[in-house]
Amino acid sequence: MSVLHTGIGELVTNDPAIGDGSVLGLLHDAALVTDGDRVAWVGPAARAPAADHRVDHEGDAVVPGFVDSHAHLVFAGERSAEFAARASGRPYTAGGIRTTVAATRAASDEALAAGVASLARELLAAGVTTFETKSGYGLTVDDERRALEIAGRFTPETTYLGAHVVPAEYADHRADYVDLVCGPMLDACAPHARWVDVFCETGAFDVDEARAVLEAGRDRGLGMRVHAGQLGQGEGVRLAVDLGAAAVDHCTYLSDDDVEGLAAGPTVATLLPGVEFSTRTAWADGRRLLDAGAMVALATDCNPGSSYTSNIAFCLALAVRHQGLTPAEALHAATAGGAAALRRPDVGSLVPGARADLVRLAAPSYVHLAYRPGVPLVREVWRGGVPSEEER
């Protein structure tokens, strides 16, 4: 079945070869035809071909579905008391992760799946049509495996994060935990994961441990992604670059060498401004990364500790206000950037052949995403050519 989406006041294609020649490939008075789950045609409304159905966007802006390349959705419980304590001056440490680990281990599969379903609905309502999600709150062979099995019911972008922190029961023999993560836990998780990730940071895993985890995952056919540069400068960003990881996420603290490495290679630098908002830490310098020539993504990092938001438009507004991105760069990072971070050439743009994932905004321009922060501007979402209310 084909659908003609017409009356689009402003269409963001993310193809610089289309339209105004900018990175967003903007077209005005545009139309788009979808055929099944794919985009079949994009161009001026006046030249649009006929289709089986017609949707009139009445001058609204249409943007590619957001691609959230970093989230931790499989968990139980919540940590509002920790958030409130931070708001009165307590610093964020990775220690809070263990609180969520205890709650997650105690939860049933049904409760965990219901939690993911609820957050996945929030993401879709916020215009996210592709999302990644991680394990990392189980930290036993069975709890990590079941987290990934549940995650896989909702997204193909599943990430094994057995190396989130060393669980309390291994505190005195952490090398054994790294061996578990690289051995039996990986064996149980790899069939349910597309990616392997590690939190390379003081208080989590050092660079040698992180390399061991990433290489073990890579040798099992998993793509690599890394958490680094969240709490301070370290060797994690360089490790990600040297191993050719798809992405390194947080990037709040970067050395000049880190920035050079990111600019020179294919590893995407993912900004997570929801974390900096929620943990009251310094803002990552997105401008520095873009000026150096690095590819930048923007993601929610939705998790109960450091960033409990599923609203990527909120993150986009923060990136514009605090990380030095223009509204165009922020939208590009939350769509094409996220797609690059997940190595998904089929999403993040609206060009013929791409997946028909599109968001109609209650606004004449994408700029409103940052200009009207906190306002729910997502009017309608189509995923794979289908209106999201028909999917539910």
How long a stretch of residues is the chain? 392
CB 104 within 8 A of CB 112: yes
Q: Which two tokens stand for residue 279?
A: 């943990």
Nearer to ligand NIG, 195 or 199 (CB): 199
**349 touches, from ligand NIG, Fe ion, none (C-beta below 5 to 8 Å by class):** none
Neighbours of 45 (CB within 10 A): 20
Each residue 256-275 as x (binds ligand NIG by CB under 6 A) or -, in order, gives -------------------x
Task: Confirm whether residue 164 is marked as ligand binding.
Answer: yes
Using the rule CB under 6 A, which residue among 69, 306, 310, 349 binds ligand NIG? 306
Q: Which two tokens stand for residue 200?
A: 């390379």
Task: Confirm whether residue 79 is marked as ligand binding.
Answer: yes
Longest Cα–Cα distance of the chain, Å, equals 69
199 binds ligand NIG (CB under 6 A): yes
CA distance 79 to 100: 8
134 binds ligand NIG (CB under 6 A): no
Piece of the chain touching ligand NIG by CB under 6 A; list 6-14, 103-111, 172-180, 299-307:
299-307
**119 touches, from ligand NIG, Fe ion, none (C-beta below 5 to 8 Å by class):** none
Rounded to 5 degrees, what are φ and ψ at 296?
Answer: -120, 135
**306 touches, from Fe ion, ligand NIG, none (C-beta below 5 to 8 Å by class):** ligand NIG
- Minimal CA–CA distance to 316: which of 372, 354, 379? 372
CA distance 195 to 222: 5
Q: Which two tokens stand for residue 144?
A: 């990590």
**Tokens 């578990």 — which residue?**
180
Using the rule CB under 6 A, which residue among 167, 217, 305, 327 binds ligand NIG? 305
CB 353 within 8 A of CB 102: no
CA distance 372 to 357: 23
CB 350 within 8 A of CB 12: yes
Rounded to 5 degrees, what are φ and ψ at 264?
Answer: -85, -20
Q: Please give the residue whose beta carbon sits closest to ligand NIG in the complex.
A: 305
Nearer to Fe ion, 134 or 355 (CB): 134
Q: Identity (one letter) of the amino acid at 386?
A: V
Nearer to ligand NIG, 139 or 182 (CB): 139
For residue 250, the minimal CB distance to Fe ion (Å) is: 7
Neighbours of 69 (CB within 10 A): 34
Task: Confirm whether residue 303 is marked as ligand binding.
Answer: yes
Each residue 84-113 as x (binds ligand NIG by CB under 6 A) or -, in order, gives ------------xx--x-------------
Task: Confirm whether residue 70 is marked as ligand binding.
Answer: yes
For residue 97, the minimal CB distance to ligand NIG (Å) is: 4
Binding site for ligand NIG (CB under 6 A): 96-97, 100, 199, 227, 230, 275, 301, 303-306
Q: Which residues are annotated as a binding site for Zn(2+)?
A: 70, 72, 227, 301
Q: Which residues are annotated as a binding site for Fe(3+)?
A: 70, 72, 227, 301
